[in-house]
Amino acid sequence: MKFQIPIGPQHPALKEPISLRMTVEGEIIRDADIRLGYNHRGLEKLAEQKTWIQNIYLTERICGICSHSHTTCYVQGVEKLMELEPPKRGLYIRTLVAELERVHSHLLWLGVAGHEAGFDSFFMYTWRDREIVMDILEIITGNRVHYGINTIGGVRRDLDEQQIKHILDSLSVLRQRSEYYKHLGTNEPSFVARLAGVGYLSREDAIALCAVGPTLRASGVPMDVRKDDPYAVYDEVPFEVCTAETGDVLGRTVVRIKELFQCYNIIEYLLKNLPSGPVAVRAPRRAKPNEVVSRYEAPRGENIHYIKSNGTDKPERLKVRAPTLGNYAATIKMLKNGFIADVPLIFAAIDPCICCAERAVSLVDARTGQEKIIVMNDLKRLSRRLSAGNIRKREAEWPL
């Protein structure tokens, strides 16, 4: 006998509104369906009404955790449209903030994984150490969450010697702590037993379903935009793409811990090889009519922005493909043939950010389950057809 269990849109296991519908047989999930659209904010339309500069702060607010990812992705696109070449020092600082953000995002995720696996002390410890990164970011940029360091043509703030020293000092503490987490994550038997074998995604499935980021790399596919299509200064910085072969939640944890160490190496390299010079160039107010696609490796995976300009000081179209959206198809695959109790863990393992991913809305026919996007003219025609046969009520009363 099969049952359908809805989880969400509001559920204690989920941090953000999303609806999962699972067909279960006993405890085992046979089919899963993800429904989106509870967190649509009309952000892309709003971007069309704001100038290039104002949109930096708008794209920053797509997501709180990967705020720098979205602005960098947007700003890189706009720089391409305006044919600007940001100075080297600016790009180094931009990459530095990007890597610090990756550290804080991965530490956050490790805590969430610990929390979902019932290991709350791990959660408290990683989040306490995340404060170190947040403090560094506050010192560099003046804010803990929405850094606002990017501007079109470079970055807004420079680093001084004192800040560099502070970052390097904090980095040694972080490195030591991460070493401990690595030891813990691979040795604590109850933690490992909870994660191993949960949410298996094979290498072939990961490629076929277009998974991105650590989810893809945990299935043994060494794909990373920073290596495949280097932006900013990643072609100069030595680092490795971290992978794991297991394809389960444990693999995703291992990938993220390995990436933490790569991040520390990158940050150290960037600070030791920081070139001198200006941090930004002047940007024009308008961009020539053109279109551009910008890619960026966010902590969660590949982030894509499509920007179209029409010669004015505002974009004609801004399309955001957040990494979470790329991972949804793979999540359904991971959930199938698993247990209901594993849902929060599997879902947390893609590091979902619903407010990042909610971009489009389509209508679903309740009887047939067909999805389609209805344009305004069709809606009008439907409404006319419905009202054509009816006799007009002459003195209709307003219901309120």
Distance, in Å, from the CA atom of 336 to the CA atom of 234, rounded to the nearest integer, reads: 37
Minimal distance in Å, beta carbon 349 to other proteins? 21
Minimal distance in Å, beta carbon 390 to other proteins? 44
| Selected binder of other proteins within 5, 13, 28, 53 (CB under 8 A) | 53
Which residue pairs from 54-61 have beta carbons closer than 8 angstroms and sit at least 24 positions apart in sequence?
55/315, 55/318, 56/148, 56/150, 56/151, 56/152, 57/146, 57/148, 59/305, 59/318, 59/320, 60/146, 60/147, 60/148, 61/146
Minimal distance in Å, beta carbon 237 to other proteins? 26
Distance, in Å, from the CA atom of 249 to the CA atom of 217, rounded to the nearest integer, reads: 12
Does residue 204 interact with other proteins by CB under 8 A? Answer: no
Does residue 161 interact with other proteins by CB under 8 A? Answer: no
**Is residue 164 within 8 Å of residue 158, measured between CB atoms?**
no
Does residue 49 interact with other proteins by CB under 8 A? Answer: no
* Exposure string over 99-124, b if 16+ CB within 10 A, otherwise e: bbbbbbbbbbbbbbbbbbbebeebbe
Residue type, 44: E
Does residue 58 interact with other proteins by CB under 8 A? Answer: yes
| Selected binder of other proteins within 12, 161, 187, 385 (CB under 8 A) | 187
Does residue 157 interact with other proteins by CB under 8 A? Answer: yes
| Selected binder of other proteins within 54, 172, 337, 362 (CB under 8 A) | 54
Place of tokens 């160039």: 281
How many chain residues interact with other proteins (CB under 8 A)? 36
Distance, in Å, from the CA atom of 7 to the CA atom of 21, rounded to the nearest integer, reads: 6
| Selected binder of other proteins within 41, 165, 183, 372 (CB under 8 A) | 183
Nearest residue (CB) to other proteins, 58 versus 81:
58
Does residue 389 interact with other proteins by CB under 8 A? Answer: no
Could you say which residues in the range 291-310 bind other proteins, by CB under 8 A?
A: none
Does residue 56 interact with other proteins by CB under 8 A? Answer: yes
Distance, in Å, from the CA atom of 149 to the CA atom of 156, rounded to the nearest integer, reads: 5
Instruction: State the residues that interact with other proteins by CB under 8 A.
Output: 50-51, 53-58, 61, 121-122, 125, 128, 131, 138-139, 141-143, 146, 148, 151-152, 156-157, 180, 183-184, 187-189, 192, 280, 282-283, 285
